[in-house]
């Protein structure tokens, strides 16, 4: 392998053949990415990169997202890695393809390559009197060579598309009622499926009366396999009615005596399975050193908590499947088509070569939701009713009850202040797993239905992630310089409440805790919180994003309103300590009688390296801030004795249109430097900025999410 090839992005080294990524079709080019569209606009950003490197118009590019029968395997679309990974891979593969095509054209015209001009895939000779296109050069063939990095990417100074804004490629269909989502797939003689389950993942069905559903006109089949029940009907409403009839008389027994004790932080701290030391963002099994305390400093401690959250996609999970001639085809909005295929193969006892998984978009996805489980559900129904396409949809209550939750977390921090600086930092972080994805495992499964069929496949035991900034410990290590840090992650492997990945994983709670505590320490040290942060930073890019937001906050005038008190707050994080730098500022008011928090204005300053899609980047940062504000102000899964009682949007409210602040976003471009993942960058700073602003307004410090009016009233009474 050449030195250049060795430095290519991992995804390209693992899938080196150019034709895996690029296919030249009739005056168009199809780009195959292994990543998937989650509503984040990745298709548009990748099309922009290809358009730039191959000198093609945006409308000459078609993006094919992840599917197991075509294109590269890029594992899972998660962790803000798609631009850095797939984006870079597509950039390099296009640069190599361009070099190959220009060499062919130079030979064709018998001129030197440097004299050729390319526009919209058409190459013009130096005299300007002859042209040949990419498609003519290839004459129906594809580029079967391996990418080796010999085609240099264009210099950033000349970018015409990258770094600018464009119209999203996927929006027109979505805005005009054309087929766009997995729910819109149409097939001849499509059957409609629904699933019936007891509310908890490990509840057992004692009795189920299927006869009423079976007698409905239009009902094709009622499938029962252990604790898994599905209905298949020729029309959707019959399937819905069948589900309702079976649920009405369903008798079940709980899988656990009690789903959760009332005191969740206490439960987490008392049920630790394994404790690991985290150094430089990475866990290890080294002995955990004693608590670090400065001999002549002041020791300050605080505890922060977050509850369980839902992903709460607006479109419940769905899948389409067909089992035909021994082959299972599944359309799914899973984040990892190849991973899902392997997990399905194990759970269904099939050869993975007999399964094709094709990604098809659903409503916005913010982590491991019900997508993979719905794919398994659809596969089971398809196997029970061969040769027919099955459209399986979860209903709202299904999604709320069955999707894996974002785990509750407790973060205990303690620091020594000495001479106005933080000397030692101690952090103990408690959480269930953020990694419940259905990655293929021998004799185990993380697919919901796999635990319910006969014979059941055992559930995988939660294990601690050991990668840098993996799950619980993502952003646990502050980006600040202290004399000493002692950080532990403490995994609670109890999975009575099923948990998995949600946007930013542990970084949401960890950054909430760190950045709230930084303000608390600054105030103890009688220093300005912005200057206090800067004193502990060495990275100029970090200081820059903080300073810009601080200046905007300082000059924003509070409104004149007697019923409210106003405050401003700031917080910062560099996502995973290696990706996008982001600071978030908040101006808010607290109503003096109702204790309601009203967000008035948000500020974001972000440095994500070389910007690809300027508008898409702002959209992700602002959307992340609003979503995190919703988590902060409103969201918590509530539990009854045996399961969640947050079964709809009334019992799990999220931020609405009247509660959303205006946001001003400042992007700092770094032309020519690597692009840094940004899709989760504002998630962590937002709750801390809000907490700091509430303190600024009221003098009350909130450390337990969500910040409901009752919580603020209680805290105000205690202060």
Partner 1 sequence: MTYTLTLNGQTRNVDAGGDTPILYILRDQLRTLSPRYGCGAEQCGACRILVDGELTYSCTTTLIDVADRHVTTVEGMAPDNSQHALQKAFLSLNAAQCGYCLSGIMISAFSLLQKNNAPSREEIQAALVGHLCRCGAHNRIISAIKLAAAMLRSETGPSS
- Judged by the rule CB under 8 A, the positions of this chain that interact with partner 1 are 38-41, 165, 167-168, 170-172, 174-181, 183-184, 186, 192, 235-237, 240, 312-316, 361-366, 393, 395-396, 615-616, 619-620, 622-627, 630, 648-650, 654, 656-658, 660, 662-663
CB 217 → partner 1: shortest distance, Å?
Answer: 9
Nearer Cβ to partner 1 (322/496): 322
Q: 693 CB contacts (<8 Å, ≥6 apart)? A: 567, 568, 569, 586, 587, 588
CB 83 → partner 1: shortest distance, Å?
Answer: 16
Long-range contacts for 554-557 (Cβ within 8 Å, ≥24 apart)? 556/587, 556/601, 556/603
Main-chain dihedrals φ then ψ at residue 398, nearest 5 degrees: -60, -50
Nearer Cβ to partner 1 (245/342): 245
Distance between CA atoms of residues 701 and 716, nearest Å: 9
Distance set, CA 531 to CA 94, 546, 580 (Å):
45, 10, 21
DSSP-based helix, strand, coil % in the chain, nearest 5: 30, 25, 45
Nearer Cβ to partner 1 (197/393): 393
Strand partners, 429: 411, 489
Distance set, CA 441 to CA 190, 339, 347, 445 (Å):
33, 10, 10, 6
CB 218 → partner 1: shortest distance, Å?
Answer: 9
In Å, the largest CA–CA distance within the chain is: 85
Nearer Cβ to partner 1 (297/653): 653
CB 331 → partner 1: shortest distance, Å?
Answer: 16
Strand partners, 565: 590
Nearer Cβ to partner 1 (296/650): 650
CB 616 → partner 1: shortest distance, Å?
Answer: 8
Nearer Cβ to partner 1 (120/395): 395
Nearer Cβ to partner 1 (156/619): 619
CB 657 → partner 1: shortest distance, Å?
Answer: 4
> What does DSSP assign to residue 388?
S
Nearer Cβ to partner 1 (280/662): 662
Distance set, CA 586 to CA 157, 336, 602, 603, 626 (Å):
35, 35, 5, 6, 11
CB 403 → partner 1: shortest distance, Å?
Answer: 13
CB 192 → partner 1: shortest distance, Å?
Answer: 8
Nearer Cβ to partner 1 (194/576): 194
Nearer Cβ to partner 1 (361/520): 361
Nearer Cβ to partner 1 (478/661): 661
The Cβ of residue 600 has, within 10 Å, a number of other Cβ atoms equal to 17
Outline where DSSP puts E strands in 633-708: 662-667
Distance set, CA 177 to CA 171, 172, 181, 184 (Å):
10, 9, 10, 10
CB 356 → partner 1: shortest distance, Å?
Answer: 24
CB 507 → partner 1: shortest distance, Å?
Answer: 17
- Cα 87 to the center of its chain, rounded Å: 17
Contact 221, 382 (CB under 8 A): no
CB 643 → partner 1: shortest distance, Å?
Answer: 19
Nearer Cβ to partner 1 (446/682): 682
Strand partners, 301: 414
CB 40 → partner 1: shortest distance, Å?
Answer: 7
CB 188 → partner 1: shortest distance, Å?
Answer: 13
Q: At what angle do helices 337-348 and 371-384 cross, to 10 degrees?
A: 50
Among 157, 120, 162, CA closest to 29 = 120
Burial class (CB in 10 A: 0-12, 13-18, 19+), 441: middle
* Backbone angle region of 516, left / alpha / beta, with phi > 0 → left and psi within -120 to 50 → alpha: alpha
Nearer Cβ to partner 1 (179/386): 179
Distance between CA atoms of residues 258 and 235, nearest Å: 39
């Amino acid at each position: 392998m050449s030195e250049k090839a060795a430095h290519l992005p991992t995804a390209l080294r693992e899938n080196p053949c150019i034709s895996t990524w690029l296919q030249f079709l009739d005056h168009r080019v199809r780009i195959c990415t292994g990543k998937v569209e989650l509503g984040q606009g990745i298709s548009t950003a990748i099309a922009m990169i290809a358009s730039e490197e191959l000198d093609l118009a945006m409308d000459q590019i078609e993006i094919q997202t992840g599917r197991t029968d075509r294109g590269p395997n890029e594992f899972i679309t998660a962790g803000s890695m798609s631009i850095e990974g797939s984006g870079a891979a597509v950039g390099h593969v296009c640069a190599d393809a361009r070099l190959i095509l220009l060499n062919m054209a130079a030979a064709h015209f018998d001129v030197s390559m440097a004299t050729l001009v390319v526009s919209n895939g058409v190459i013009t000779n130096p005299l300007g009197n002859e042209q040949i296109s990419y498609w003519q050069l290839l004459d129906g063939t594809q580029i079967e060579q391996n990418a080796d990095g010999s085609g240099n990417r264009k210099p950033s100074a000349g970018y015409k598309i990258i770094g600018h804004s464009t119209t999203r490629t996927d929006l027109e269909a979505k805005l005009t009622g054309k087929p766009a989502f997995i729910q819109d797939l149409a097939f001849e003689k499509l059957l409609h499926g629904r699933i019936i389950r007891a509310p908890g993942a490990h509840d057992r069905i004692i009795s189920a009366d299927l006869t009423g559903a079976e007698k409905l006109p239009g009902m094709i089949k009622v499938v029962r396999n252990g604790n898994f029940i599905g209905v298949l009907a020729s029309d959707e409403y019959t399937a819905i009615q069948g589900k309702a009839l079976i649920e009405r008389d369903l008798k079940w027994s709980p899988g656990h005596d009690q789903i959760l004790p009332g005191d969740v932080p206490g439960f987490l701290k008392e049920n630790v399975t394994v404790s690991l030391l985290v150094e430089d963002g990475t866990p290890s099994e080294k002995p955990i050193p004693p608590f670090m305390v400065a001999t002549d400093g002041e020791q300050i401690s605080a505890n922060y908590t977050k509850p369980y959250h839902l992903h709460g996609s607006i479109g419940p999970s769905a899948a389409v499947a067909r089992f035909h001639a021994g082959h299972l085809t599944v359309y799914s909005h899973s984040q990892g088509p190849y991973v899902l295929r392997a997990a399905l193969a194990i759970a269904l006892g099939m050869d993975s070569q007999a399964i094709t998984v094709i990604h098809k978009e659903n409503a916005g996805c913010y982590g491991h939701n019900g997508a993979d489980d719905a794919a398994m559900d659809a596969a089971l129904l398809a196997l029970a009713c061969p040769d027919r396409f099955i459209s399986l949809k979860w209903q709202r209550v299904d999604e709320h009850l069955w999707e894996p939750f974002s785990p509750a977390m407790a973060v205990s921090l303690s620091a020594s202040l000495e001479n106005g600086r933080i000397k030692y930092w101690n952090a103990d972080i408690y959480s269930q797993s953020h990694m419940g994805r259905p990655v293929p495992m021998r004799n185990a499964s993380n697919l919901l239905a796999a635990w319910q069929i006969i014979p059941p496949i055992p559930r995988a035991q939660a294990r601690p992630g050991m990668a840098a900034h993996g799950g619980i410990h993502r952003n646990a290590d502050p980006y600040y310089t202290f004399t000493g840090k002692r950080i532990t992650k403490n995994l609670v492997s109890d999975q009575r409440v099923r948990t998995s990945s949600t946007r930013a994983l542990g970084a949401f709670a960890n950054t909430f805790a760190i950045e709230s505590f930084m303000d608390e320490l600054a105030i103890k040290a009688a220093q300005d919180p912005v200057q206090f942060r800067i004193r502990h930073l060495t990275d100029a890019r970090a200081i820059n994003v903080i300073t810009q937001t601080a200046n905007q906050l300082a000059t924003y005038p509070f409104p004149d309103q007697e019923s409210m008190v106003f405050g401003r707050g700031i917080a910062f994080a560099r996502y995973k300590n290696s990706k996008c730098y982001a600071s978030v500022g908040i101006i808010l008011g607290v109503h003096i009688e109702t204790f309601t928090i009203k967000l008035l204005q948000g500020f974001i300053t972000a440095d994500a390296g070389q910007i690809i899609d300027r508008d898409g980047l702002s959209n992700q940062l602002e959307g992340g801030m609003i979503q995190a504000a919703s988590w902060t102000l409103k969201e918590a899964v509530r539990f009854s004795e045996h399961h969640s009682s947050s079964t709809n949007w009334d019992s799990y409210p999220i931020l609405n249109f009247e509660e959303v602040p205006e946001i001003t976003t400042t992007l700092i471009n770094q032309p020519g430097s690597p692009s840094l993942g940004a899709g989760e960058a504002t998630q962590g700073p937002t709750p801390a900025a809000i907490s700091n602003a509430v303190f600024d307004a009221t003098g009350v410090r909130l450390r337990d999410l969500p910040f409901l009016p009752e919580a603020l009233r209680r805290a105000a009474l205690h202060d």
